[in-house]
Amino acid sequence: MTKSLLARLAVLAALAALPACTSSDEQNKDAAAPKDLTKGLEITSASAKEIFSIPLGNVPGTITLPPEARVAVTAPFAGAVVRVFVIEGQQVTRNEPLGLVRAAEPVQISGDLARARSAAALAQARTKRLSQLADEGIIAAARADEAKAELDQARASVAQFSRLSALGGVGSDGTMTLRAPIAGRVAHVGVETGGGVDAVTAPFVIEAAGAYQIELQLPERLAQQVRPGMAVEIAGASGSDMPAPVSGRIIAVAPSLDPATRSIMARATVAAAPGVMAGRNVSVTILKEGRGIAVPDRAVTMIGDKDHVFVRKGNSWEKRAVTVASRGSGLAVISGGLASGEQVATSSVAELKAMNAE
């Protein structure tokens, strides 16, 4: 009985020790497993992309119209406005009527043109008759030559008054039709029905659509690096009237530095796009040719004296030193330390930096 009881007690003691050992092993495993310190962070990421134009810098600019894009429409003769066909802001096509003006000169030109045509017809008939008589030897050849000269003069008068009539858009009732010389937008209407116009003040101004220029102020540090032909970009903004970037090119760079502003004036050309309007101030990124890896600028942080990014490695983030070639338009262009397609952290970068410093 004693041996049997001792054996049973030994079995019970062994069974009681098993849970304690299992619990101890699980605790040791939990202690040995690394803790994921980034589990509570909402980290967003972006893919590194290869680009072929490297931002050189951002400069301020003002959108303007090219010199040939703004055309004033004047009346060739002083008169009174009979009708105005357009309003400011209206789109017009080339040769579209803008206004109707009545003046005394168109009436006179119409009369002069009619008389010149009549004189030319008479001179032509006389020249034909005298040339025939001269060929038959009835009259001297000099008289036929005089008739030809008179015909040339009559034809010159017809051409002169025809050009004056076309210049003023003269109608049969002595009115002049002012027309748009280019297609575009009516930027200014300076007359009203019944008002007077002269040959000096422009009653209408037309602005061409489709071409704009940007006046740039280049800082001294960029003066020697910017050349005609380089690409530029106006960055778009979400929710604004310029949702997408607008591209263009440098067409001119001033040869000297402005001593007052310590900057150099340059001019770029851009196409028409939503949000592009004359007089608007914009920030322009100048691009140079070259290859690099672009990531959002906020993904790069300074650790020590070097730039770093945090690259995804499985479920963790690896700190990696990189070489930043340039920054602009919200991007950092990296020339070393990162490959295209790798995922970098774009948020909670300060927290990742603090974790790596521990």
| DSSP-assigned beta bridge partners for residue 234 | 246, 284
Phi, psi (deg, nearest 5) at residue 266 = -135, 165
Q: How confident is the model at residue 159 (pLDDT cuts 50, 70, 90)?
A: very high
- Looking at residue 185, which CATH number applies to its domain? 2.40.50.100
Instruction: Specify the number of domains making up the chain.
Output: 4
Whether 317 and 267 map to the same domain: the answer is: no
183-203: average pLDDT: 89
Asked if residue 16 is part of any domain, the answer here is no
247 and 188 part of one domain: no
Task: Give me the percent of the chain exceeding a pLDDT of 70.
Answer: 84
Domain check: are 215 and 274 in the same one?
yes
Residues 132 and 179 in one domain: no
Q: Are residues 197 and 258 in the same domain?
A: no
* Residue 347 Cα distances to 31, 45, 292, angstroms: 30, 7, 22
* pLDDT score for 98: 93
Q: Indicate which CATH number applies to the domain containing 241.
A: 2.40.30.170
Task: Give kind and range of the element (H or E) at residue 183.
Answer: none
pLDDT of residue 10: 55
Question: Does 240 lie in the same domain as 154?
Answer: no
80 with 196, same domain: the answer is yes
Q: Could you give the 3-state DSSP secondary structure of residue 273? A: coil
Query: What is the C-alpha to C-alpha distance for residues 203 and 196, in angstroms, rounded to an integer?
Result: 10
Identify the domain containing residue 184 by its residue range.
76-102+174-201
Same domain, 159 and 247: no
* Cβ-Cβ contacts under 8 Å for 169 (sequence gap 6 or more): 176, 177, 178, 179
Angle between helices 141-168 and 104-135 (to 10 degrees): 160
pLDDT digits (tens, 9 = 90+) for 45-67: 889 888 877 888 888 899 988 88
Residues 249 and 223 in one domain: yes
Instruction: Return all residues near 173 (Cβ < 8 A) that are at least 6 apart.
Output: none
- Mean pLDDT over residues 118-132, rounded? 91
Q: Is the pLDDT at 85 greater than 90, yes or no?
A: yes
pLDDT (average), residues 201-212: 86
